[in-house]
Chains A and B, each alone.
Chain A
Amino acid sequence: MATVSLRKLTKRYGTVGIVHGIDLDIADREFIALVGPSGCGKSTTLRMIAGLEEISAGSIEIGGRIVNDLPPRSRNISMVFQSYALYPHMTVRENLGFSLKIAGAAKGDMDRRVAEASAILGLDTLLDRRPSQLSGGQRQRVAMGRAIVRDPDVFLFDEPLSNLDAKLRTQMRTEIKKLHAKVQSTVIYVTHDQVEAMTLADRIVIMRDGHIEQVGTPDEVFRRPATRFVAGFIGSPPMNLHEATIDGGQMVFASGEKLPLPGQFKSNVATGDKVVFGLRPDDIYPTGHGISSGGAADVHQIELPITVTEPLGNETLVFVEFNGTDWVSRMLNPRPLRPGERVAMSLDMSQAHLFATETGKTLRS
């Protein structure tokens, strides 16, 4: 059990910077997800914490101890790799017990801890198999078992589910969550899948181009994205984002279409400001078919043509044309709609977001 602190953590390969001095404090027993598009430096950050990658500048503290130059084995961490990295020449039992063997644990102690870990993960019947005889989900479980057996201060997960099919991924996601509840360790979890990050993590760190864009609880990053990038990255389907220019109490879009300026931003912008207007699919809906929790006072009505509909059973994603592009909206208790049909849409402006076009930062005060 330990806290983890990153101070001005930097990674450069020659002159190419990968991670640009990030600061992050992770509490004991916290489940942190590092999320971002590929190449954002999240895996490099994880590998630096693990000690597999040298740091170029800054420092890493685990449990109050600076570990900058310590080899991986001295950091008391364990890691689950995307590829699982099971030792193919060893049985599941040997894979699980490998770290204990290296540490010179007594045979009885080793057997007991392997048995404990395999009980947690339901690997009892597989102990004498080799990795090549296991399915993807089973391999994944062995990889997690190997991490548990070490009883580490910090668990590191490097995109552990991305090699599994969609169904198994959902299932393993739940298992990881249960596991964290059981072992109560600090977890740092790298993923490019924002759904995984949202469902698993206590706090999410959104990274982009080697910088941290925002750190917050899933609710915070969803409801109060600090930047345009976070707004577009978190949420599925993603937030609708459109550039506009402020003109008095209105936003004027490139196509000439206009929307009223959301009340909460009125004091933060002036005429002529370039902004990005964002609205989640949940906050746009054919009138009478929405879930938006906003006060009814700030709902704007507009009639828009339908381009495509995607029925999902209890809801339908309705694509409407606005400002020359498709706008995604979520329709509850769907009724049949035809492409081309013009429908009255409700926009819950109290839930709208505005970002400065230039900096990408939120204009919320």
Chain B
Amino acid sequence: MDENSSARLKRRLLGIVYRIGLFLAMLTICLPGLWIVISSLRPTVEIMAKPPVWIPQEISFDAYVAMFSGIGKGGIPVIEYFRNSLIISVTSTVIAVAIGMAGGYAFARYRFRGKSGVFLGLMLTRTVPGIALSLPLFFLYVRLGIIDTHFGLILAYVALNVPFTIWLIDGFFRQVPKDLAEAAQIDGCTRWQAFWQVEFPLAGPGIASAAIFAFLTCWNEFALASQLTRSVSAKTLPVGLLDYTAEFTIDWRGMCALAVVMIIPALTLTYIVQKHLVGGLTSGAVKG
């Protein structure tokens, strides 16, 4: 066997090993999700069984049917929770991205006094765990009368997300060459037009990814929401999961079913948007 064919063989073997490794890694990542889906379809006995039952013996959609069948029949106000989650997540994401765009652009393009200090300060707010703020926020919100409202939660989420969106969007604006906005201004644009015609479309994928992250943070957030909301009119889906816990029992199947209901929109959204997150859009703008 000559050198070339042995090198070829080695490359093929390495390729196979690489794929197996990748499969195992993906399996580990996906297994919890898969387990939730399976658990939502089988009886509690099977969920609790030891050793675990890997292949479900019987599959039923009872938990999903029950979820929507109203109070008293094992149902919970899913539609209301879903609506609350959607209103709160979308609104706070839109606000956080708008502020993030303004802030990120300012940090990327302008020089001003105290710039790095402000930026560092914004980043430091991320080091405080949200749960540590929940009690002070609770008291504050009670005093202000915004406890258990959409507005209160939106406000908290905007504050939570803004440093992150600023940081992310700043990075994307930095990647858009300054020359482009200048060229646009020479081509007859105002500063404002140059931004919307040239810089915004080019930073678009970055802004979209900031939006996804902000949305998912709000959509999945539990700690703050469980402290700041309590009625059907304000509770979000993650808090709604607690409806399945009673004093002595936990309805694991129902909880898993609600978790699936929660995951589906987030997954769909991510799937739709990620196609637009193509990088390298700026290639060819300037030399390179």
Contact = CB atoms under 8 A, between A and B. Distances in A.
6 closest residue pairs by CB, A with B: A132-B284, A83-B286, A131-B284, A85-B179, A99-B187, A85-B183
Contacts of A208: none
Nearest to A147: B186
B184 interface: yes
Nearest to B179: A85
Given A102-B197, A103-B188, A81 B183 contact: yes
Interface in B30-72: none
A86 B285 contact: yes
A136 interface: yes
B108 interface: no
A79 interface: yes
A73 B201 contact: no
B106 interface: no
B265 interface: no
B287 A136 contact: yes
Given A87-B180, A88-B202, A89-B202, A79 B284 contact: no
A98 interface: yes
Interface in A130-148: 130-134, 136, 139, 146
Contacts of B185: 51-52, 71-73
B190 A88 contact: no
A89 B179 contact: no
Contacts of A84: 285-287
A77 interface: yes
Interface string B171-183: 0000001011011
Contacts of A88: 202, 281-285
B198 interface: yes
Contact of B186 (A79, A86, A132, A133): A79
14 contacts: A71-B185, A72-B182, A73-B186, A73-B189, A83-B285, A85-B286, A86-B286, A87-B184, A88-B283, A88-B285, A89-B281, A99-B188, A131-B285, A134-B284
A150 B202 CA distance: 24
Contacts of B286: 81, 83-86
A98 B187 contact: yes
Contacts of B245: none
A89 B186 contact: no
A132 B278 CA distance: 14
Interface of A: 50-52, 71-73, 77-79, 81-89, 98-99, 102-103, 130-134, 136, 139, 146, 150, 163
Contact of A77 (B184, B186, B191, B287): B186
A51 B185 CA distance: 9
Nearest to A129: B284
A86 B193 CA distance: 16
A139 B187 contact: no
A103 B283 CA distance: 27
Contacts of B284: 86, 88, 130-134, 139
A98 B198 CA distance: 10
A87 B184 CA distance: 9
Given A146-B187, A150-B187, 11 more contacts: A52-B186, A78-B186, A79-B183, A84-B286, A87-B198, A87-B285, A98-B184, A130-B284, A132-B284, A136-B287, A150-B188
Give the interface size class of chain B.
20 to 34
Nearest to B202: A89
Nearest to A78: B186
A85 B188 contact: no
B190 A73 contact: yes
A71 B184 CA distance: 12
Interface centre among B177, B180, B188, B193 (most CB of A within 10 A): B188
Interface centre among A79, A88, A131 (most CB of B within 10 A): A88
Contacts of B189: 73, 102
Contacts of B282: 88
Nearest to A152: B186
Contacts of B202: 88-89
A85 B177 contact: yes
A82 to B, nearest CB: 8
Contacts of A131: 284-285
Contacts of B193: 102
A132 B202 CA distance: 14
A150 B188 CA distance: 9
Given A86-B284, A88-B282, A102 B186 contact: no
Contacts of A51: 185-186
Contacts of A146: 183, 187
B186 A72 contact: yes
Contacts of A79: 182-183, 186
Interface in B62-90: none
Interface centre among A51, A89, A146 (most CB of B within 10 A): A89
B193 to A, nearest CB: 7
A86 B180 CA distance: 7
B118 to A, nearest CB: 21
A103 to B, nearest CB: 5
A83 B177 contact: yes
A103 B187 CA distance: 9
A73 B189 CA distance: 6
A71 B190 contact: yes
A98 B197 CA distance: 10
